[in-house]
Amino acid sequence: MANTLIQGATVVTAQETRAADVLIEGERIKEVRAGIPARAGDKVIDAKGMYVIPGGIDAHTHLDMPFGGTTSADDFESGTRAAAFGGTTSIVDFAIQARGTRMRDALDTWWKKAERKAAIDYGLHMIITDLGASGLEDMDDMVREGVASFKLFMAYPNVLMVDDTTIFKALSQTAKNGALVCMHAENGSIIDVIVARALAEGKTAPIYHALTRPPRAEAEAVHRAIAMAEIAGVPVYIVHLSSEDALKEVREARDRGVPAFAETCPQYLLLSQDELERPNFEGAKYVFTPPLRPKEHQPKLWEGLKNDHLQVVSTDHCPFCFKDQKILGKDDFTKIPNGGPGIENRLQLIHHHGVNLGKITLNRFVELTSTTPARIFGMYPKKGEIAPGSDADLVIWDANAPYTISVKTHHMKVDYSMFEGYEVLGNARMVLSRGEVIVDGQKFLGASGRGNYIKRAARGGAWK
Nearer to Zn ion, 184 or 382 (CB): 184
Give me the least distance between CB of 63 and ligand URP, in Å please: 11
Where are the alpha helices (H) located in 24-75, listed in sequence order?
none
Nearer to ligand URP, 55 or 339 (CB): 339
* Site stretch for Zn ion (CB under 5 A), options 119-127, 196-204, 263-271, 316-324: 316-324
Residue 383 falls in which region: left (phi positive, over 0), alpha (psi -120 to 50) or beta: beta
* Site stretch for Zn ion (CB under 5 A), options 99-107, 177-185, 348-356, 455-463: 177-185
Paired residues of 348 in beta bridges: none
CA atoms within 13 A on the CB side of 71: 9
State the DSSP code for 462: G
Is 58 near Zn ion (CB under 5 A)?
no
Give me the least distance between CB of 36 and Zn ion, in Å please: 41
Is 317 near Zn ion (CB under 5 A)?
no
| Contact call for residues 142 and 103 (beta carbons, < 8 A) | yes
Is 285 near Zn ion (CB under 5 A)?
no
Is 344 near Zn ion (CB under 5 A)?
no
Of ligand URP, Zn ion, none, which one sits near residue 352, judging by CB under 5 to 8 A according to partner kind? none
332 CB-near residues (< 8 Å, 6+ apart): 199, 204
* Site stretch for Zn ion (CB under 5 A), options 6-14, 80-88, 140-148, 311-319: 311-319
| Contact call for residues 314 and 60 (beta carbons, < 8 A) | yes
Give me the least distance between CB of 451 and Zn ion, in Å please: 20
Give me the least distance between CB of 213 and Zn ion, in Å please: 12
Nearer to ligand URP, 268 or 403 (CB): 268
State the DSSP code for 161: B
Give me the least distance between CB of 152 and ligand URP, in Å please: 11
96 CB-near residues (< 8 Å, 6+ apart): 65, 66, 106, 127, 129, 160
* Site stretch for Zn ion (CB under 5 A), options 33-41, 74-82, 178-186, 258-266: 178-186
Considering only CA atoms, which of 177, 178, 66, 76 is closest in space to residue 117? 76
Of ligand URP, Zn ion, none, which one sits near residue 339, judging by CB under 5 to 8 A according to partner kind? ligand URP
User: Does a cis peptide bond (omega within 30 degrees of 0) precede residue 290?
Assistant: yes
Cα separation, 217 vs 455, in Å, equals: 35
Chain residues binding ligand URP by CB under 6 A are: 62, 184, 240, 288-289, 316, 318, 338-339
Q: Catalogue the E-assigned strands of 129-179.
A: 149-153
Looking at beta carbons, which residue is closest to Zn ion?
Answer: 184
User: Does a cis peptide bond (omega within 30 degrees of 0) precede residue 381?
Assistant: yes
Give me the least distance between CB of 200 and ligand URP, in Å please: 24
Burial class (CB in 10 A: 0-12, 13-18, 19+), 455: middle
Give me the least distance between CB of 397 and Zn ion, in Å please: 26
Considering only CA atoms, which of 273, 292, 282 is closest in space to residue 329? 282
Of Zn ion, ligand URP, none, which one sits near residue 288, judging by CB under 5 to 8 A according to partner kind? ligand URP
Nearer to Zn ion, 184 or 364 (CB): 184
Burial class (CB in 10 A: 0-12, 13-18, 19+), 190: middle
Is 184 near Zn ion (CB under 5 A)?
yes
Is 245 near Zn ion (CB under 5 A)?
no
Give me the least distance between CB of 316 and Zn ion, in Å please: 4
Binding-site size, Zn ion (CB under 5 A): 2
| Contact call for residues 431 and 393 (beta carbons, < 8 A) | no
Give me the least distance between CB of 318 and ligand URP, in Å please: 4
200 CB-near residues (< 8 Å, 6+ apart): none
Cα separation, 208 vs 195, in Å, equals: 8
Cα separation, 79 vs 408, in Å, equals: 16
Is 213 near Zn ion (CB under 5 A)?
no
Nearer to ligand URP, 309 or 326 (CB): 326
95 CB-near residues (< 8 Å, 6+ apart): 103, 106, 107, 109, 110, 124, 125, 126, 127, 147
Of Zn ion, ligand URP, none, which one sits near residue 338, judging by CB under 5 to 8 A according to partner kind? ligand URP
Nearer to Zn ion, 218 or 385 (CB): 218
Q: Which of 138, 316, 393, 436 binds Zn ion (CB under 5 A)?
A: 316
Give me the least distance between CB of 285 and ligand URP, in Å please: 12
Nearer to ligand URP, 288 or 397 (CB): 288
Interface residues with Zn ion (CB under 5 A)?
Answer: 184, 316
